[in-house]
Amino acid sequence: MNETINLIELSKEKIDALFDQHEYDPENVLLDLYHIVLPGDWDEYPKFHGWPKISNATWEYICGKFFRIGGLGLAFVWVNNGFSKFDKPGDDWVIDATDFLANLEET
């Protein structure tokens, strides 16, 4: 079986720009992060399976940003609804959407 790998660039600058844009509305930061992975109309998909994956370093950077703007409560927004972590050397600052995109259910 030949699986397609779907990696999407996610730079620190892009992450910082999202937090600057939505400083007082972290839920929109989270939504915009998901829109990077799956742009377009989400009404086409009644259910998502799994989460996009990012490296430990990228995950911790985003979690730290949530914590700095809203403390532990907002960090939990990321912990409970954010991306999953993977540990692959050299894959910082990318989103691995392979499993997430492969598991979408269309209406």
Q: Please count the other Cβ atoms lying within 10 Å of the Cβ belonging to residue 65.
A: 20
Give the domain ranges of the chain.
7-102
8: enclosing H helix or E strand = strand 7-9
Backbone conformation region of residue 87, classed left if phi is above 0, alpha if psi is from -120 to 50, else beta: beta
pTM: predicted TM-score of the whole model, two decimal places: 0.86
Structure tokens at 68: 């700095």
Q: pLDDT per residue over 10-58, tens digit each?
A: 999 999 999 999 876 888 999 999 999 988 888 888 778 888 999 999 9
User: Contact 41/107 with Cβ under 8 angstroms?
Assistant: no
